[in-house]
Amino acid sequence: PVTFTVRNASAVPASALDVAVSDAAAWAIASNGCTMLPAQGTCTFQVSFAPKAAGARAGQLTVRPTAGAPALAELTGNGTSPP
């Protein structure tokens, strides 16, 4: 899994962050420590890549706070065939 860190630059805590991936067949939220984001604080979550087939895969990671615009990140990976 890859660890992502979210930082809250605001003086107001953010609650109920929604962390999601667009291609659940290849990407998954492995752990989510971002259910609450304190003011001026950070939280972390992990995304794992486990495609069911070989080949290039692309997806999008979305972190959506209860208020404000979501943060987006592009995900790319290359699945390989099992030995």
Distance CA 18, CA 14 (A): 11
- Does this model's pTM top 0.85? My answer is no
Contacts of 48 (CB under 8 A, 6+ apart): 1, 2, 27, 28, 30
Tokens representing 42 are 């950070």
Contacts of 5 (CB under 8 A, 6+ apart): 42, 43, 44
Convert the pLDDT of each residue in 20-67 to its tens digit.
999 888 999 999 998 888 899 999 999 999 998 899 999 999 998 877
